[in-house]
Chains A and B, each alone.
Chain A
Amino acid sequence: MTGTILGAPDIGRALTRIAHEILERNEGHESLVLLGIPTRGVPLAHRLAARIAEVEPDFDAAARCGELDITMYRDDLRSQPTRSIGPTTLPAAGIDGATVVLVDDVLHTGRTIRAALDAIKDEGRPTAVQLAVLVDRGHRELPIRADFVGKNIPTSRIERVDVHVSDIDGDDAVILSGGRS
C-alpha cells in the first residue's frame, strides 16, 4: 500500500479530533501549552492550537504555542552530517506547572521524543507532558507511546512516510513510499 494515505480533508479531520481529545483528556485548557518539534511539528501545533481556540474561545492560541528545537539533545549527532540548530521559542509564561503537549508529524523510533523530553527538562518543570502525532508508523526503539494519534499506519522499516504541510510544502498530505512493489 503506497501512495497518498491521507489527503487534506483527512488531515483536517484528524487534527480536529485530536484537538477535542486534548481538551477532553485535560478537562479544559487552563494550563495547556503546545510545543511543536521542527520542522513539521511546528505548523501542526499551531493548527491544533487554532482548533482548540475554536472550541474554547478564551484559549489564546498564539500565546500558548511554541517550538522546541531538539538538535542538541539528539543521540545520533555523531552518525549524521552536522545539523544546524533551530530556534526554541516558548510561551512567555514559561512551561513550569503547565501541561505540555508535544506535537510532531511522525512517531517512529521514539528517539526524537526522547530528545524532546530531555530538552523540556532543561527548560522548566511542566506538570505533565503528553504527545500528539499525526502519524504513528510503529517500529519503536524506546518505551514511548503517543497520547493522541491522527492515524496509525503499519509500515515496514524500509518504507518512507512523508508528511506534507501546506505552510512548508504547499499541500497537506501523508505519503507512503519506498516499499517492496
Chain B
Amino acid sequence: MTDSALRIANVSKSFDKPVIRNLDVDIASGQLYALLGPNGAGKTTTLRMVVGLTPMDSGHISIYGIDTRRDPLGAKAITAWLPDEPMLYDKLTPSEYLAFVAGLWKIPPAEAAQEAERLLRWLELWEVRDTRCEGFSRGMKQKVALAGALIHKPRLLILDEPLTGLDAAMARSVKDALRAQVDAGATVIVTTHILEVAERLADRIGIIADGKLHAEGTLAELRAMAGSDDMTLEDAFIRLTSPMPA
C-alpha cells in the first residue's frame, strides 16, 4: 500500500507553447487538496492529464500506486472526475444517469441502486429522480453530476471549479459533501478561484503558475513562505504568484 494518492512526476505538456513544465506534485491520501493558480496556469490541463482526457508529453502519473499509462483502466476505476461543466445527458433522469455511470464502473446493480438512492436523498434530488435533467438549474445539474462521481465510491475525487455558478446553499452542501468524502477516507482534489473555499476547506494547498508548482503546504506554511504569518490566503497567493522584483 502507498500513502500517496496522486503522484505527478516530471510531467510536461505543450500545445502551441509549453503549458506544463516538469511538474512534480505528491498528494497524500485522505486529505482535501486545493490546487490554486491564475487563469491559464495549467490547473485544468494537469487534472485532465491525471484522468486520462489529455495525453502528457512526458513524465509519469500514478494514482494510489497505479501508473495511469500502464494500467489506465485500473487507475480510472478508483478515480472520479467532475469538471466545471457537468457531464450530463439532458434527456436522462437522475436515476437513469446514475444507472449508466454505475454500469460503466461495473457496480453490481443491487449495490448501485442502494447507493444511488442514498445519494439522491442526501443531495435532495430524490423527488426529481424521474425528471429529465434538461429542465434543471445549474446547481441541480452539478449535484446530479456529483452523485454520478460518488456512486462508484472513488478513492480519488477530482473536481474542477465545483462551486462555479452555485448559490450559497448549494455551495454549502457541495462543500459538506466533499468534507464527508475526506472523512470517509477518500482523497479530494479541487481547483477553485474562490480562495475562501481553499482557506476554509483544504488540508493542503498547491499554487501552480506558468505550468510549475510555485508553492505548496498548509495555509500556515504558505503564509510563512509569503513572509507574514497573519496575511490572508489571497494576499499570500498574490505575493507567491507575482513576478519577483528585479
A and B associate in one complex? no
Chain A residues packing against B (C-beta within 8 Å): none
Chain B residues packing against A (C-beta within 8 Å): none
